Structure 1
Amino acid sequence: MTKRFYITTPIYYVNGAPHIGHAYSSIAADVMARFKRLDGYDVFFLTGTDEHGQKIEKAANDAGITPQHLADRNSDAFRAMAAAVNLSNTDFIRTTEPRHKAACAAMWQALDAAGAIELGHYEGWYATRDEAFYNEDELTTAPDGTKRSPYGAPVEWVREPSYFFKLSTFQSRLLDLYETNPEFIQPASSRNEVLSFVRSGLRDISISRTSFTWGVPVPNTPGHVMYVWIDALTNYLTALGYPDRTAPNMAFWPADIHLVGKEITRFHAIYWPAMLMAANLPLPKRVFGHGWWVVDGEKMSKSLGNALEIQPLITEFGIDAIRFFLLREIPFGNDGDVSRRAIITRLNTELANGLGNLAQRTLSFIAKNAGAAIPAAGPATEADHALTTIAETLPTRVRTAMDRLAYQEALEEIWKLIRAANAYIDHEQPWALRKTNPTRMAHVLRTLCETLRIAAILLQPFMPETMAKLLDQLAIPPTARNFAALETHLTEATPLPTPTGLFPRFVEPDA
């Protein structure tokens, strides 16, 4: 039976250029997608852009261009970001595509047929920046006395004709979902926030707008366009072939993980399952709201003008180093402060001095003193068993951490092995054994090669390009790099290529 896995990023709003926060979501999803592929799953990995709404229309008008021109330009920037951070996505969805408009129309009609939509008028507080409506008790007051959304966006009082989704009728079903499936919303902080919101009482939500035109038209209703979240959330089905429920890729539904920023968890954990319940479609298995990267304690945002671009970091440090840093530095789900100093410290300590040094010491020594080939095994000692036990039990520990999206924990488990291997080589001193006990030297070097092989295979999702180089230097064929191959062993006397460094130590130019 085919094991399938479907993971999505948020679709990124095209009112501005991508920054490191977008890259973070994308890289986290990519690492999980690659991990599952290596573990034998058929994976569908979706990313893309969200291109409708009042905010896009306003930004385009301000720039003197059409909304479609703005969407095309900025969607291309997000597609370029996906390539720059080495995403392995299956599809890239754009909400201005005909296939998506057809899916949105079908979703609307399914909700309408279920009696979940009614016509009325909307009156309340709306934040254009968030594309969200808020209750009075959710608002904050800025220092200048203006009302703001919970995320700091200006709000305005609006009144207009609107269709409503009867969200209030789904309150008990949603609470039952959260109760019977505690892992549906993660981490715990996001779950608690959503539970509190739903328990306080749900109101029907406005799902059409008449004050602007840049959106998916409501079927058979001139003058109304769909509220951007009805449009945006449907993308996860569009990419699989909806509304054709017999489309081959619909076998991937329901999604295993919707990976989102914590500020949009509410839409994915409340609106989306309620919509799917109404449309009689299976619910996603998990919504994970990750934390923010902050600069000087403030969330990065295009609107605030403090967004950190990803490309200069890639140019300076390399994409694999940045992928590693973003998932190593903080527990996934928490907020983290990003700084150049933190990046350099992490890369020098763990990549250059840790893994890079281990690979260089081992492979260079073999090239010079052990025939440039995989050494032969000899009698094992207690020290050998201690290291190989860590290595052989590592895949299980890494899988357990990855199943919880505990990326930092998974990397820490791998680095326990790397630290143990560096201590092992210091203790065993193969350079001394070369003269006193060549048989023992060979076994030590072989043990180190096996350790590097296991670490490199497990690190492929995080640093695909660099780990491919390391596996090349260990002469591991492409067919022996998946997780099933972790159970195999190196073949004695396999020739090894000339080793090259993996992670140069970073030195500040003015140091």
Structure 2
Amino acid sequence: MRRSAKLVSHITTPIFYPNARPHLGHLYSSLLCDVQHRWKLLKGVDSLLTTGTDEHGLKIQLASEKNHYKNPRKFVDKLFPEFIGLDKFYNVKFTKFIRTTDPFHIENVLKLWELCNKNGYIYKGEHHGWYSISDETFYPESKVIVDPKDSTRHINTESFNEVIYQSETNYYFKLSAFQDKMLDYIENQNPEFVYPSSKRDQLVKDLKTNPLQDLSISRPASRLQWGITVPNDPEQKIYVWFDALCNYVSAIGGIDTSTKPATIPSLHWTQTTHLIGKDITKFHCLYWPSFLMAADLPLPKRVVIHNHWISNGMKMSKSLGNVIDPIVVGKKYGPDIVRWYLLENSKIDADGDFIESNVSSLRQLFVSKWGNLINRCCGQKFNISRAIGTFSMDRSDRILNLWKDNSEVTTHINNIFEQLNKLPRQMDEKIDKFDHSNMLKEIWNMVNDANLLIQVSKPWEKPQLQQDSIIFLCIETARILSILTQPIIPMVSSNFLDRMDIKPERRTLDFVTLGSDNNYGENANSSKRNLPLELSPSENEFTHTM
């Protein structure tokens, strides 16, 4: 697979509320973005990954009060490093971590407000409605019911969080003016804007059945102190979602209002992919593009929506005791094992079920299958360097001819040749579609085929030429898979490549064809080398490769 031309790419995680420590859902969003970002870099594409924390709003204000902080800033200052720590522990290779309390971000929120206001999309009025503090949004009467478990409370039918009826003076955004524009854009102009298609179809259905209502985009400062002040009105604070969504632009250089019309100067913007959880779909797929249209600013490339994680078949909750702490499970099994598990056992349009015993089994599988394949080839009876020197230039026909009298062996050889030839292209397609589960299953099939080839060919019993042909094909399988999976398991793949003595500069997509690296493994068959992966995670596996 040839390296890509110098292109640009930008992927974003949602920015996370630092009102508690990060959980498995935060890791999952970040991991999906990290794999995309690392794959782009491996292809030679100019890529950015931005993430951060959403630090304003009533939810943060109340959480800080509950935790006895007089100043919400001190509360978020304590918690935001937890999110950076999670990313670093799991080797999420972010380019920029943005906080919505950053002065530059606040400047951009005010610029976005002023552009929308100048174009006539903001007005002041009375607001009456059902507000959810947890979701930081109002819900229409049609989506509010009495809580079946407590008749004194009301909840909404989207998130099932409590809502409270409120009446106040706010600023409004003319969201209703974008009903037809958004429907046409998502359904006709850019049907790839929302991915996967199941989420796009649901959004289109909702737009057709529930017309957009004008959106309250401020809160009285008497109720919400922790927020950005509305321009020229100190009695109002900007709605947290109007603030938070602007982070995606702030993170890559912001809005340039010195030009006419205003621009987002970063070359990455129109190639931006937002990766979000399904619970914040309307904010990213309806509110955010409408704000941008109102400001005469371009829209990002697409919004990718993923489902959530449950634990042992049940929604995670503290009362059930089934909440997964990603740091704890990562220390137990190794960060890369958890990364692989989350990718292999999830589909973005279905909830994933986290079962810890399966994570343990996965680590054993890495040791017994992939690690063992490398250990076998690196055995003292074999010579990797000699095998590569013999077969790197003339491969398939010569190897098949050596085993022409053994149809079982030639069947496995042909399978490996075929799979290795098409795997880089398949991975590119599947990563772009976030189809990690099927992709990783294919990789396991190749590891199993290589192990089976050793088992049926018994190279330790064969003459040197036959022996070397099998070792060449199997170690090449391990090498190529280890290069291709660097975006998925950056630490473990590095250990595997180190064990095979692959030079750092030869771990790119230029070297993922059979025989493309003809100079490695000189000391790989030494008896003094350590195992590339052991049953219990070792300290060197936690070395960060940022």
Please report the TM-score for the alignment, with normalisation by the length of structure 1. 0.93
Q: Which amino acid aligns with 2:399?
A: A
Find out whether 1:281 has 2:307 as its counterpart. Answer: no
Partner residue in 1 for 2:372: 357
Find out whether 1:137 has 2:142 as its counterpart. Answer: yes
Distance 1:371 1:203 in 2: 67
Distance 2:321 2:233 in 1: 38
Partner residue in 1 for 2:383: 370
Find out whether 1:326 has 2:334 as its counterpart. Answer: no
Q: 1:161 aligns with which of 164, 169, 172?
A: 169
Distance 1:289 1:250 in 2: 24
Contact 1:374 1:491 in 2 (8 A): no
Find out whether 1:147 has 2:157 as its counterpart. Answer: no
Q: Which amino acid aligns with 1:412?
A: K
1:277 positional shift: 1.0
RMSD: 2.2
Q: Which amino acid aligns with 1:151?
A: S
Contact 1:18 1:78 in 2 (8 A): yes
Q: SS of 1:71's equivalent?
A: helix
Q: SS of 2:305's equivalent?
A: strand
1:506 positional shift: 6.2
Partner residue in 2 for 1:447: 473
Partner residue in 2 for 1:500: 530
Q: 1:55 to 1:368 in 2, by over 3 A?
A: same
Partner residue in 2 for 1:409: 438
Q: Which amino acid aligns with 1:166?
A: K
Contact 1:293 1:335 in 2 (8 A): yes
Distance 1:483 1:371 in 2: 21
Q: Which amino acid aligns with 1:360?
A: N
Find out whether 1:217 has 2:229 as its counterpart. Answer: yes
Q: 1:248 to 1:242 in 2, by over 3 A?
A: closer
Q: Which amino acid aligns with 1:408?
A: S
Q: Which amino acid aligns with 2:363?
A: L
Find out whether 1:108 has 2:107 as its counterpart. Answer: no
After the TM superposition, which residues 41-120 of structure 1 pair with which residues of structure 2 at under 5 Å, given as runs?
41-65=45-69, 66-120=71-125
1:387 positional shift: 1.1
Deviations 1:189-238 (A, max 9, x none): 32233222211211011000002110111111111111110001000000
Q: SS of 2:93's equivalent?
A: coil
Contact 1:374 1:493 in 2 (8 A): no
Q: 1:12 to 1:137 in 2, by over 3 A?
A: same
Contact 1:374 1:492 in 2 (8 A): no
Contact 1:374 1:494 in 2 (8 A): no
After the TM superposition, which residues 453-472 of structure 1 pair with which residues of structure 2 at under 5 Å, given as runs?
453-472=479-498
Contact 2:25 2:308 in 1 (8 A): yes
Q: Which amino acid aligns with 2:244?
A: A
1:333 positional shift: 3.0
After the TM superposition, which residues 25-44 of structure 1 pair with which residues of structure 2 at under 5 Å, given as runs?
25-44=29-48
Find out whether 1:179 has 2:195 as its counterpart. Answer: no
Contact 1:374 1:496 in 2 (8 A): no
Contact 2:292 2:299 in 1 (8 A): yes
Q: SS of 1:300's equivalent?
A: coil
Name stretches of at least 5 consecutive residues in structure 2 with no aligned partner: 401-409, 538-546
Q: 1:248 to 1:102 in 2, by over 3 A?
A: closer
Distance 2:14 2:234 in 1: 29
Please report the TM-score for the alignment, with normalisation by the length of structure 2. 0.87
1:449 positional shift: 1.4
Partner residue in 2 for 1:399: 428
Q: 1:117 to 1:298 in 2, by over 3 A?
A: farther
Q: SS of 1:7's equivalent?
A: strand
Deviations 1:47-105 (A, max 9, x none): 11000000111111122211001111111111111111111100000000101100100
Distance 2:385 2:254 in 1: 55
Identical pairs, percent: 34
Partner residue in 1 for 2:198: 189
Q: Which amino acid aligns with 2:368?
A: N
> How many matched pairs?
501
Name stretches of at least 5 consecutive residues in structure 1 with no aligned partner: none
After the TM superposition, which residues 291-306 of structure 1 pair with which residues of structure 2 at under 5 Å, given as runs?
291-300=307-316
Partner residue in 2 for 1:206: 216
Q: Which amino acid aligns with 2:66?
A: D
Q: 1:493 to 1:194 in 2, by over 3 A?
A: closer
